[in-house]
A and B are shown apart, each in its own frame.
Chain A
Amino acid sequence: MLALDPLLIGDLDLGDVLIVLLKVVVVFVVGLVATMLMVWFERKVISGMQNRIGPNKAGPFGLLQTLADGIKLFFKEDLIPERSDRFVFKLAPYLSFVPAFLVWAVIPLGGDFTGDKQGLVTWFGRETRVQLADPQIGVLLLLALSGIAVYGIMLAGWASGSKYPLLGSVRASAQMVSYEAALGMSIGAVLLLAGTLSTSGIVDNQDGFTNWHLVSTGVLPFVIFMLAATAELNRPPFDLVEAEQELVGGFNTEYSSIRFALFFLAEFMNTITMSAVIVTLFFGGPQPLSVDIGGLQWDGDLYLGPLNGTIWFLLKLLVFLYVYVWFRATLPRLRYDQLMNLGWKILIPVSLGWFMLLAAFKLGQDEGWNRVAVGAVGLAVLALGAALLSAATKVSARNREREGAMF
């Protein structure tokens, strides 16, 4: 259990256990409250963009609306359809809710990354991290959890025992499985530069704006990650899962009461955790943004002492939460074939090609090759690959047309 948390090295005493417990409780409570606020934020921002007022009755600015909705859902009748598979039907909401929560455990929520401190902070005389756990496999855990989350949606639709939920869940799982490849490949670009899988190591690698992986991987992996993550979350414009014109309500049509609330909660919590992952991987997590233009110098210190990193993290997180809401308010939903074409024919090849190019640059750096030559050769190879791929897709499209398209 090395490095899961510096607290756990050596002998454990009551204080260590209490700190870990405190962290667990804080992450859990903050996660839930943040989800509640996120629902409110999304409704409020969208209503603003659509010239409406939005929730404004429960509490100041309608802040307690989500709480009221949650209580209402709690007291509604819990229906289980006659033809459903009872055990799987009850299991599915938890399978989608638990992974959403667990991602929080590996995200560095704060800490001091200046100098060689590597995010370590001292609480009550003990060294620890502002992060529940820092496992060796950090980012892989994230991919594993998003793999588990597929089960929740897939089984929910199947266990409902009716047509539309099954169609919705088959769509959703096909979409999530296809975009996972692009997601993993763009994470690969980050890992290549960071040289470690642990999330705190990745954050530690990004000191200063030019070292943010957004810049140092050349923006493209970030764009791909953002698109793939949106598809992975089943959020607009990729929310074909719940295309209400075609599928009633998608995989959760038959769900009511608290089980529906769990799906709802998981969806919004996933939005927050995915934004946090984006911030961690590409935007330096709790690292401050230091400014050094001309005479203007600022090392990103907000004069908040130990809270500095957390505030920076929250500020970056808010930007992405807003971006997700913005997507939802402005972009129309894609057609299903467009979604699959984007995933398989554009995102996966582009992320793979970019990954190879970055790997070539990395190798060239280690071997002392000329950067320009490496870039030129790499781009030539990529262009050749792209030409081959587009020729292949053209041929297969022509064949399909002649055979009579199936869809």
Chain B
Amino acid sequence: MELFVFVCAAAMVLVGAVGVIVRSHPVHAALSLVLTLFGVAVLFVAQEAHFLAAVQVIVYAGAIVVLFLFVIMLLGVDNAEDLQIEPIAVQRPLATIVGAGTLALLVTAVTQGSDAIRSGTGAGIDDATVTGDPDSNIRQIARDLFSDHVFAFELVSVLLVVAVVGTVLLSRRPDKLGPQSGGAR
């Protein structure tokens, strides 16, 4: 059963990932990305990480890719790109190198760490089937996030606010503002 779920979800992830690269149409590529994200969510559920799966769907599929699509639609780049034109000459060889490097890193990590993966269910994380409390999954994540990693959490939220404010500043039109307004400079 577990193998079956894994194979199906992995197939979803891979088909989606290949689709993101192969499809020349931006909207189709974005939809393939959704398929990948769903596959990952299924894998999370198979690992009893229900909360992560839900957040994966809500945040990534429900918000981020929707924003991608929004930008694609509003900017009107929704026609197939011509792959022969190369705006930045070095990016293809560079992408090949980075891709090969990432692959090598991942393979090394899996082969080196396979003993650690097999040895336990993760330190300090109790399975809901063990504790009997259906909310234990969420409770543990919350406790971890808001006690041990509270500063990192707050810093990330500051980072997000800075990004939003920066975007607003950059997108204002300084030409009509005049020097006294103190807006974008």
Contact = CB atoms under 8 A, between A and B. Distances in A.
Contact of B57 (A144, A180, A201, A399): A144
A140 B51 contact: yes
Interface in A122-159: 135-137, 140-141, 143-144, 146-148, 150-151, 154-155, 158
Interface string A388-407: 00000000000100111000
A135 B58 contact: no
A174 B78 CA distance: 18
B144 to A, nearest CB: 17
Given A137-B51, A158-B73, A143 B58 contact: yes
B176 interface: yes
A252 to B, nearest CB: 16
Interface residues of B, number: 35
B66 interface: yes
A404 B62 contact: no
Contact of B78 (A158, A173, A177, A195): A158
A170 B28 CA distance: 17
Interface residues of A, number: 36
Nearest to A135: B50
B62 A150 contact: yes
B160 interface: no
The A interface, classified by DSSP as helix, strand, loop or mixed, is helix
A198 B135 CA distance: 8
Interface string B89-129: 00000000000000000000000000000000000000011
B70 interface: yes
Nearest to B57: A144
Given A136-B128, A148-B61, A403-B177, A2 B66 contact: no
Contacts of B129: 2
Given A85-B27, A136-B135, A151 B66 contact: yes
A92 B46 CA distance: 28
A177 B58 contact: no
Contact of B54 (A137, A148, A403): A137
A360 interface: no
Contacts of A155: 27, 31, 69
B54 A140 contact: yes
Given A150-B66, A154-B73, 19 more contacts: A87-B28, A136-B138, A137-B53, A144-B61, A147-B61, A147-B62, A147-B63, A151-B34, A154-B70, A155-B27, A169-B73, A173-B70, A180-B63, A195-B135, A198-B135, A402-B181, A403-B173, A403-B176, A404-B176
25 contacts: A2-B128, A2-B129, A2-B132, A3-B128, A3-B134, A88-B27, A136-B50, A136-B138, A137-B51, A137-B54, A140-B58, A144-B57, A147-B58, A147-B62, A148-B57, A150-B62, A154-B69, A158-B73, A169-B73, A170-B74, A173-B66, A177-B67, A198-B134, A403-B173, A403-B177
The 6 closest A-B pairs by CB, nearest first: A147-B62, A140-B54, A144-B57, A137-B54, A3-B134, A136-B134
Interface of B: 25, 27-28, 31, 34, 50-51, 53-55, 57-58, 61-63, 66-67, 69-70, 73-74, 78, 128-129, 132, 134-135, 137-138, 172-173, 176-177, 181, 183
